[in-house]
Amino acid sequence: MTKVLKWALLASILAILPFLTDFAFGKTWVRILDFALLYAMLALGLNIVVGFAGLLDLGYVAFFAVGAYFYALLASPHFGLHLPFWLLLPAGAFVAGLFGVLLGAPTLRLRGDYLAIVTLGFGEIIRIFLNNLNAPYNITGGPQGINLIDPIKLGSFALNHPVGGSIPSVYNYYYLFLILALLAAFVSKRLQYSRIGRAWVAIREDEIAAEAMGINTRNTKLLAFAMGASFGGLSGGLFAGFEGFVSPESFTLMESIMILCMVVLGGMGHVRGVILGAILLSIVPEALRYVGPLQESLFGKVYADPSSLRMLIFGLALILVMLLRPAGLWPSPTRKRELSAQGETAKHENDGVYDAGR
Amino acid sequence: MDIFLQQLINGIVLGSIYSLVALGYTLVYGIMGLINFAHGDIVMVGAMVAFTVIHLLSGSGLPMFLIAGIGILAAILVCMAVGYLIEKVAYRPLRGAPRLAPLITAIGVSMLLQNLAMMIWGRGYLSFPALLPAISIPVAGAGISAVQILIVCASAAMMSGLSFLVKKTKLGNAMRATAQNREVATLMGVNANAIISITFIIGSALAAVAGVMVSAYYGVAHYDMGFILGLKAFTAAVLGGIGNIEGAMLGGLLLGIIESMGAGYLGAITGGVMGSNY
Amino acid sequence: MMQGAKLLEVEHVSKNFGGLAALSNVSLTICQGEIYALIGPNGAGKTTLFNVLTGICRPDSGNFRLNGVEMGGKKPSAMAEAGIARTFQNIRLFSNMSAIENVMVGRHCRTKAGILGAIFKDRATRAEEKSIREKAAHLLEYTGIARHAHMLARNLSYGDQRRLEIARALATEPLLLALDEPAAGMNHSETDSLGTLLEAIRADGITILLIEHDVKLVMGICDRLAVLNFGEKIAEGTPTEVGKNPHVIEAYLGGS
């Protein structure tokens, strides 16, 4: 019974959260919540690749970009196409998944750090293409990106309109993103405790042994890439519909790194931990925007450039959290057990490969 | 002017800078299996410190080469200290932690350095003083500037010095032993912690020199110059087989040449579809 | 003593490493239901042959057949699927998974739930998952480590880790169980009980290929064995036959 109560409490908190946030901090913060949920989906996707299968992907944002541009191109005046979102979101996830396979296929023989650099390059290639495919034919809109993207519509109701003139649009997106993020978490969990999930972890632990046990490591890794990428593609479509415009600037390497930080800082391989990481890392930098005004009220004048101070504190926080909790803020129970066996880890350190999973 | 030769020269110059930075990645990776994401920012710190020192001394009436020398020396010393501190504070406590943990602290350190630099030196581009007179020696239709010659010679000297250090000295032996197997090396009486510190210090010194070189070459210094440079050098290190010293040198040169050839020809080959921005 | 049909036929397999012949023209036949051992001094090519049979490396020439099907050069996962399961000389467990999860991974190639099954957890997937778990629990029981089912593999004792490797390999329902020095590092009583386990596995109809240094174990339990030296098969037969073979005595005791 207490369990039901706990869930009911959590559900009602999530349901009224935007109202509370709006009341306490204003609409900007509801928007930040929306983004936090979007990042949670992205982080859950990357978690499949890095956390479950142990493949270090530094170009994950590419799949986010693919999803976003897929939506933007087919639902904006850019080509005069206005396909419905319920078609575009799954199709975008699928296309991103294909890109995942496309990236995965040639790189699967690589291990650890080599994979990291290739995925990083892939991410950059996608961004540079988006940036430059405006000539001789204007496909992606170049650095300006694509504008006036259709909002997500449920029936005839566009989510960018307030409900009944009183509930603002950021609320609509909040609920949509919340449902989808929960769905992503649910799917992650189901995958984790399945035959495929076990195969991923086995590959992370020892690829040679996994192969010897009859796991087709190539296909299984491709599947991880495709699944992770499709989460990214889905989030990308949502992002495009939510923002109304996309440009290559949103898909930089820094973004990939941030998502990776969310996964690792939260607790790699642990669904709840990853969500926590995503929410913290999308909220903290925003909260740190107040360091400027805070300086003013404390000292009467702004001493340090607020934006750099903000990122400085953020960097410091990353370091401190990892030093204090090397397995992440909320590691999975098994991972905690692993760390309690610290002495033995030293033995594995000399394995020589930069395995993401270890 | 012969474009091919010119681009080749530019590529070699660029490549030797990349090589120096790549060596830092490779040394650290070889010994600890860690991608030191903050390495590029150490390059930036080197450039910034040299800038400040040279700027302060430029009114003193000392001869330019002496000022430049002091600037470089200061950059090296500061970077060594920074490198040592980073390892001690951000990486050492994470030995035996999950392998991605130090990667995240490295990213944190990188942010920290960049934003500290932004607060100290501002967000604008600093125009780096010319260390050498802007003369150009004509070579078969192309030109080599004095700075370019100095860069190539200095990198070559430092790289051979490093090769000698790693291959022929007792310290180098200890470094290689630690890289092979830290536990066994420790059993054999190698102070692995000290070796790791020294590796970071050496890598940072190389980075400092590279920072001064790159700023002197392009004439500017900027708080986030380290990021892209670091990325390219890391690519070079991986290209040459990370953990392998000769590989890093070769990878750096190769990358530099590819980049400058690409800049020179890609636009022409693809009829302007792919510009130099690729 | 030949016990039934030919299970594995190795024909003229050769493998060179940079000019060094690790295996030259090795042929042997393993029959259904026997325990077949492969012995030889260090560097004789035992492990290379083992690696060829388990798909880790591809033979330069020659081939081998499992139940009449050509197998040479297939991937390790295909070998496992076809029915050759192996253990590793230097134990390779999934160290951060529990013992039972290790065995469950072994069921991978005999089950088929995919992504959709995982997400929707339909009736077939649930049934399959249940059977995986039951089979894994049974195998832990069978190999005598059921009490450690939920311990992380890395925390098991050495002997139990070896047993877990065997349980994991058995989970793939092999026709041929290939064991790479299973008794290495074991004490006497552990080796004895390992022998009992191997006998039990054979009694259940699984053929065993054994690479082993422990001559006492080999001579005690194997039906036939082959001796390799410098990449060549120098003897083959029952333990008593091989023990009398002058080539074998020379290879082991040296001399001219």
| ipTM confidence score | 0.91
A156–B contact, CB cutoff 8 A: no
3 state SS of C177: strand
A254-299: per-residue pLDDT in tens?
Answer: 899 889 989 988 988 899 999 999 999 999 888 888 877 777 777 7
Rg (CA), chain A: 21
Are chains A and C in contact at 3+ CB pairs closer than 8 Å? yes
pLDDT: is B31 or A192 the higher one? A192
Mutate to test the interface with A, among B25, B99, B227 (most CBs of A within 10 A): B99
Name which of B60, B99, B59, B48 is nearest B207 in CA terms. B48
> Which residues are registered as beta bridge partners of B221?
B126
pLDDT: is B168 or A163 the higher one? B168
* C-alpha to C-alpha distance for A77 and A338, rounded to whole angstroms: 53
Share of chain B above pLDDT 90, in %: 25
**CATH ID of A28-350, from 3.40.50, 1.10.3470, 1.10.10, 1.25.40:** 1.10.3470
- Say what the pLDDT of residue A346 is: 38
C44-54: per-residue pLDDT in tens?
Answer: 888 889 889 99
Mean pLDDT of B41-45: 94
| Residue B278 covered by a domain | no
Q: Measure CB to CB from residue A212 to each of C54, C101, C171 and give the nearest one.
A: C54
- Separation in Å, CA A217 to CA A200, A329, B77: 9, 30, 48
Same domain, C234 and C250: yes
Distance to chain B for A301, nearest Cα, Å = 16
Same domain, C7 and C77: yes
- Say what the pLDDT of residue B81 is: 95
| Residue B232 covered by a domain | yes
Most confident range, picked from A128-142, B84-98, C195-209: C195-209
Name which of B185, B257, B236 is nearest B8 in CA terms. B257
Sign of CA pseudo-dihedral A279, A119, A143, A257: positive
CB pairs under 8 A between A and C: 115
- B107: which residues sit within 8 A by CB, 6+ positions away? A257, A261, A315, A318, B37, B38
| Residue C53 covered by a domain | yes
Same domain, C1 and C18: yes
| Residue B61 covered by a domain | yes
| Res. A167: pLDDT tops 70 | no
- Say what the pLDDT of residue A202 is: 95
Query: Do C26 and C45 form a contact (C-beta atoms < 8 A)?
Result: yes
Same domain, C76 and C179: yes
Helices (H), A47-159: 61-74, 85-107, 112-132
- CATH of residue C44's domain is 3.40.50.300
Confidence (pTM): 0.86
Domain end among C143, C171, C199: C171
- Separation in Å, CA B122 to CA B108, B111, B114: 20, 15, 11
pLDDT band at B1 (very low <50, low <70, confident <90, very high): low
* C-alpha to C-alpha distance for B35 and A320, rounded to whole angstroms: 19
Mean pLDDT of A195-215: 93
Domain that holds residue B52: 2-270
| Residue C26 covered by a domain | yes
Sign of CA pseudo-dihedral A80, A86, A91, A92: positive
C151–A contact, CB cutoff 8 A: no
- CATH of residue B146's domain is 1.10.3470
Which residues in chain B are closer than 8 Å to A355, comparing Cβ atoms? 99
| Residue C90 covered by a domain | no
Same domain, C151 and C216: no
Residue B40: both structure tokens together: 């590029």
C76 to chain A: closest CA residue:
A212
Sign of CA pseudo-dihedral A110, A115, A118, A123: positive
The mean predicted confidence, pLDDT, of chain A is 84
| Residue B275 covered by a domain | no
Same domain, C67 and C192: yes
Same domain, C199 and C166: no
| Res. A240: pLDDT tops 60 | yes
| Residue C158 covered by a domain | yes
| Residue B83 covered by a domain | yes
Residue A194: both structure tokens together: 């399945």
Domain end among C171, C190, C222: C171
- Say what the pLDDT of residue B137 is: 76
Mean pLDDT of B35-58: 90
Most confident range, picked from A185-189, A264-268, B177-181, B191-195: A185-189
Partner-chain contact B231 A349, CB within 8 Å: no
A50 to chain B: closest CA residue:
B100
Same domain, C19 and C134: no
Tokens 């790699």, residue located = A268
C171 to chain A: closest CA residue:
A213
Helices (H), chain C: 46-53, 76-82, 99-106, 115-120, 123-142, 158-170, 188-203, 215-221, 239-244, 246-253
**In chain C, how many domains are there?**
2
Distance to chain A for C219, nearest Cα, Å = 28
Q: Report residue C17: phi and psi, to 5°.
A: -120, 105
Tokens 């191109």, residue located = A73
pLDDT band at B33 (very low <50, low <70, confident <90, very high): confident
| Residue B16 covered by a domain | yes
Domain that holds residue C36: 1-83+174-256
Half-sphere exposure of C94 (CA within 13 A, CB side): 30
| Residue C17 covered by a domain | yes
- Say what the pLDDT of residue A7 is: 87
Tokens 């803020």, residue located = A329
| Residue B276 covered by a domain | no
Q: Report residue A302: phi and psi, to 5°.
A: -85, 115
Partner-chain contact C119 A214, CB within 8 Å: no
Domain end among C171, C188, C216: C171
Query: Do A76 and A147 form a contact (C-beta atoms < 8 A)?
Result: yes
Query: Do C99 and C51 form a contact (C-beta atoms < 8 A)?
Result: no
Name which of B204, B198, B215 is nearest B130 in CA terms. B215
* C-alpha to C-alpha distance for C182 and C50, rounded to whole angstroms: 13
- Separation in Å, CA A91 to CA A48, A151, A222, A224, B190: 20, 17, 19, 18, 58
**In chain B, how many domains are there?**
1
Spans of chain C below 70 pLDDT: 1-3, 253-256
| Residue C91 covered by a domain | no
Omega prior to A136 cis, within 30 of 0: yes
- Please tell me chain C's helix, strand, coil percentages from 3-state DSSP, rounded to the nearest 5: 40, 25, 35
